Amino acid sequence: MADIQFDESTANRLARTFRDVSTMLHRAGWERSLAINDACMEFKGGYAKRFTDACGIESADRGSLSGKLEDLAEATDRAIAAAVKERERIAAHEEWRAKVEAAELVRSQDALGALGVTTFDTFVGLEPDTMPVSPPPITAVFGPRSRGRYAGGAGSGGTTSADPVALRGFAARSQLVTRNMRDGLSALQMAVAAYANSCSWAPASVATLLTGFSRFVDENVSDERWISSIAAAFESAGSGTLGDFDIMLALGADNPGVFTDALFDPKLSPAEVAQIWALLAASKGFNLERLIERYSFELACLDGIPFWVMDKAGRHALEWALDEEHPENPAAAYARMGFEPGERSLAEFEKDLLAIQTGLSRAEGLLGGGTAGAIVQLVAFGRHDGGVSAGISMGNLDTATNVGVLASGMDSEVQGISDPLRGFNEILSREPGYAMVTWMGYQSPGLPTEWLQRRADKGGAYLSSFLDGIAAQRANNPIDRLVVIGHSYGTNVAAEALKTTKADVHAYVAVGSAGLKPGTSARDLGVSEIYATVSERDPVAGIGQATGARVFTPADELGGIRFTGRVDPLDLDGAVEFPSGGNGGGLAVTKHNIGTFAEGEALDPLAPNVGYFHPDSSTIFQLKRVMKGDIQQ
């Protein structure tokens, strides 16, 4: 007799196991709820919030899993019922076929009508249903959510208080519940395996659910270890209150993954990022290539990590975004970097990335023709205030003895990131241990909005973070001389950065300044040396200084906008002016711009085109001295 491969008793056992485990998961909620309530009696602050969030995720995921198992039990019941119907159909059809064969035999034997058998006498009824019964699907998928176990850095000022005894009590009670879950998972795995061997007629597709169940159990185990580690941190400190950052450091000793979660917390200072990076890089199983593969865009603009890592990540992100074999990548990179439609067209975005890539190649070409072994690094690549930002260092920023950082000015964007490179190469030509950085890390204003302060305030915060990143990474190998240079509106940005940075900056240089924020003083900048230059043939700088403005406050008598002239850097106490007109060495500067990149540029003697950072300009001639520190104050 024909049959289907379906053992009803095995199927019933599977349905029963689905229901038993579902019920166990449902009941586990009561025990966990009691344990959570006891733990939270004195658990307050950042990590307490993370704990309750994690418990909420666990509860929701457990409820989802329990419901899916109940659905699977019902689906298995339907499969059992369908198997019964299919077997009844098969039996009825085989019985009918037997009758047909018997009737045909009778008719064949009475071929001459000797027995008087008629067709009516051999009629066996209509053929039963020939359409096989289809088994109902027994399938479900389940994937638990990850649970955040990091509460923030010291920059957030967060603290947590707890009773470690209560925390350990939760961990112990949760472990009993988790053990029951693991037993339930094992029972399910055995029941599913047995069903697969004897019930192939109605296959059960639950491998993804079982994998998700296993991950869910692992998440619970991670919670228990996490809470036990927090309890240990409080026991070790002998205090009922700890800073969230201190707790994070303690947690990372047992779980390096915590450091990865913490690394991208926007509240962290570059110094904290550097501290976390050092711990992560030293942790067991750390894999830099895998980290960059997953987080290249995030690492490319993370102040506080080593610059060689930032460079590696940034180049990886650029190459991925501009991969010609994947024309969809630019749009994906656009979205991944946080751009919204209308902020920057996709076409301009691609031009930005190509310009950065070209800038790196040009810088390498320049250094390759000069100092042997010189390094070019992409030390910033990201999005700020609706624009693409980037920084290129000619020289190794991780080891350089003397470092110059140029903040770009009005109308600057990464498509002009190559402009200062030849001038920087001139400075580096006899100083292989130096590094010169062109930093375009903010959205610069155009001429109509140059008089506003907002872009300088925002840009100053970004540059301050970048300088703090230099200080954090060079804490054990301090830079001999750090010089911050601003050009045009960038002098305002640089001054605002100096007001807040924790980096030890030795000198501030203002080139073609459009003026500083009203009220700025030399003391605000926190540097021992201030230098400034403006070419007599620069038609733009003076206008910027004269038309600086600030937005009114409610206390203003007239309302609206009240204009106040910006501060001329040369008016700061102790400021030293150096020439840019050619009388101090080099060519006279003839325009406000940085300068052109073109190799072998021919100068028109009647209308020379010399920007401030032209390699032969008097500005570059004087900047060489500033970088060495041999200009008399």
pLDDT digits (tens, 9 = 90+) for 253-275: 767 777 887 888 887 899 989 98
- The pLDDT value recorded for residue 284 is 76
Judge whether 466 and 493 are in contact, CB under 8 Å.
no
Residue 155 has pLDDT above 70, yes or no: no
Q: Give the global pTM.
A: 0.69
The amino acid sitting at 44 is K
Task: Please report, as a single letter, which amino acid is at residue 242.
Answer: L
Window from 31-35, 251-255, 508-512, 595-599 with minimum mean pLDDT: 595-599
Report the pLDDT value the prediction gives residue 379, as an integer from 0 to 100. Answer: 96
Residue 482 near residue 505 (C-beta atoms within 8 A)? yes
Structure confidence at residue 121 (pLDDT): 59
Average pLDDT of span 177-193: 96
Beta bridge partners of 567: 516
Looking at 117-131, 293-307, 486-500, which range is the least confident one? 117-131
CB 150 within 8 A of CB 229: no
Q: Is 303 helix (H, G, I), strand (E, B) or coil?
A: strand
User: CB count, 10 Å around CB of 417?
Assistant: 26
Average pLDDT over residues 182-207: 95
State the helix-helix crossing angle for 346-368 and 307-321, rounded to 10 degrees: 130
Highest mean pLDDT pick, 132-146, 405-419, 461-475: 461-475
Residue-level length of the chain: 633
Q: Amino acid letter at 33?
A: S
Determine the average pLDDT of the residues in 456-484: 94
**pLDDT of res. 239:** 79
Give the pLDDT band of residue 548 (cuts 50, 70, 90). Answer: very low
DSSP H helical ranges for 238-393: 244-252, 257-263, 270-281, 288-299, 307-321, 329-336, 346-368
Instruction: Give kind and range of the element (H or E) at residue 60.
Output: helix 46-109
Q: Is the pLDDT score of 450 beyond 60?
A: no
DSSP 154: G
Check residue 158 and report its DSSP letter: -
In sequence order, the 6+-apart residues with CB closer than 8 A to the CB of 438 are 359, 391, 392, 406, 408, 417, 419, 420, 421, 424
The answer to whether 577 and 509 are in contact (CB under 8 A) is no
C-alpha torsion angle, residues 393, 399, 403, 406 (rounded to 10): 20
Per-residue pLDDT at 500: 96
CA distance 401 to 398: 9
Higher pLDDT, 116 or 597: 116
* List of residues 6+ apart from 77 with CB closer than 8 A: 15
Contact between 123 and 61 under an 8 Å Cβ cutoff? The reply is no
pLDDT band at 514 (very low <50, low <70, confident <90, very high): confident
Average pLDDT of 504-511? Answer: 96
3-class DSSP state for residue 265? coil
Highest mean pLDDT among 16-20, 221-225, 280-284: 16-20
